[in-house]
Structure 1
Amino acid sequence: MPVTLNSHQFARLIDRTADHIGDATLPVLHGVRLEADAEHLYAVATDRYTLAVARYRHHGLDGKAFARTVPARALPALRRWLTDQPGDAHITLTPVDGKLRFTTEAGEMTLTTDGDQDYIGWRGLLRDILAKTTDRPEVDTDGDQEDLPVLDARLLTRFTTADTHLRIRTGPGRTPALLVGEDFLGAQSPVRSRHEGFGAGTDDTLGGVRALWETGLTDPDSHTAVPMPAPRRSYDAPQTSSGTAEALLRQTMASTRDLLEEIDSPRAVAAHAAAGASAWAAYRYLDALHRADPSLAAQVIAEVADELDDGALGEFAWDAAAKAGFDPQKWYDELDQAATAAGGTAAEAPVGLGTDS
């Protein structure tokens, strides 16, 4: 019956779902539901308007599946205890007589929980939403879209901890919107615009919205339509852990392949070897960071993506080297000497990737 998984990954399950906990007037929903099956540990929370389900593949379930709800009042203490655990530590969850015991090599914590009865059938709810959610918009008899779904933006903010990026798909009528992330499924119930302060004159269909905005979105005769300028990008960097991992592994494989094909060019061989080795090292570091602390990994990936997009990598490296106590000027002098000895030209200043000429 015990289940074991990474400590930080368990903390992330709590973080991705806690904002969706129902209020105290509905005790059965006033907490985070933890359910373990043969492959995953699930964390579930709902306030009846939004539903969040996050999962993580555990290291093994010793016995039969179990389900327990950690009450909202106990979550702050559990979250603080998890923060004190090493990121890569293994934590074992064991249900014992109406309680749930959390154990690591450093110690343990036991909380009183609710049992495996009286919780909503979230699996059936999500199966129904998935069945009604279509890849193409529903159309009415006139060939136009049905009423546009209306989502409460205040409820949408509860999904900010779910993932860096979420895919959203809506179904017909009053079907809840489906939100999909990495090992995450969420749902949000729509509201009816006429009853939520949008005004009786608002048309809820896409055709009505087009008619309402058609004049305002037409360029005046006195203006010349100018297309929106595309942002200057020096490097289209991945924005997620999985996307970055894929890019690094592809680069490693490409560089290794090219390394074998460039045997007649020593400089090309060296370039491919350096690129492949750097990509592989970066992947290994990223993989370790993602397993230890996914939130920190996502933060670092976003920061690096912005730096790559800026393109001034030489300047960034110069500043980082100086801050770390190294002598970047000495490195440039050594590069100048090597270039001069090889008949090349000396470098005068840090050069960033994609620097404008």
Structure 2
Amino acid sequence: MTTITTTRVLAGRPVFPIGLGCMSLSHGYGPAADAAAAEALLLGALDRGVTLFDTAALYGFGHNEELLGRVLAPHRSRFMLASKCGIFRENGQRRIDGRPDTLRQTCEDALRRLRTDVIDLYYLHRWDKSVPIEDSVGALSDLVRAGKIRHIGLSEVSAATLRRAHAVHPVAAVQSEYSLWSREVEIAVLQACRELGAALVAFSPLGRAFLADGVPDAAALDAADLRRRMPRFQPGAFEHNQALLEPLRQMARERGCTPAQLALAWLLHQGEYIIPIPGTTRLAHLDENLAAAGVQLDAETCGVLARLFSRDPGGNRYGTIPGVLMTLRGPPPAPGQFLTH
């Protein structure tokens, strides 16, 4: 039996094993959350012991950082604040730009919106491949020396890129999608994180609510919901993926927990350096997610779950969304590079 500790270490600080991804409060799955409901969710998370709040300049194009600044600034000493740079809006489009001057300006804007003097963990949201990763990380290291950020993170990078970046300045965390049905990081990134002492912060740990049994009908999703345009939620692929859920439901029933809790518990049992950041707009779902830290699994159960989802899910994680493609300085995005997170 593996025991989950009450805290994990991120950037040298203890944090609750499950953090809060804040994107859905501003965009991604339909209209932004009502201001009062968003405030209640953030303060509720803080009161329940959440110590990692994750945002980005991209989320709502500044709206999410402003929300966290307005609600959480009075409680700044009680939590670790993570944000991201390198993707922003220009002329109505998302643009990846990792030039040092851009990253420095994005940080200044983020500090203002977040109403803080320093960001604890600042990620390069995506690597702009027209700029050497060493140059982008070098700019972030300048921000560390200036006292504007405390630690550097990278999002969705390969193990090789992580090592190159780490040679310039220690990388405290890599944020990548990781869940039972998104396992690419197991190829090399997890090992690199272990060797370098970096945490793996797992976004979409519930497969965008799929593993929480929260998407019974993809066709009924809000027209603005990003999942309407993701390959895994398209006709054919969605039905294929639905077949994966019944064994998960059955195993959850046998263990007295929900599918969401079982999926999060599996992720927590993959290593003490892994910190999931599920997002939600509902306090009931927040309580459900946080309770996963108390679900104990043995190695046999973890192995069964891994094998159940070992076959490739129907559809890629990301697709091309007509009219919404991010512009990129340099060559066009590689397959799968289009990003809403």
Task: Output the TM-score relative to the length of structure 2.
Answer: 0.23
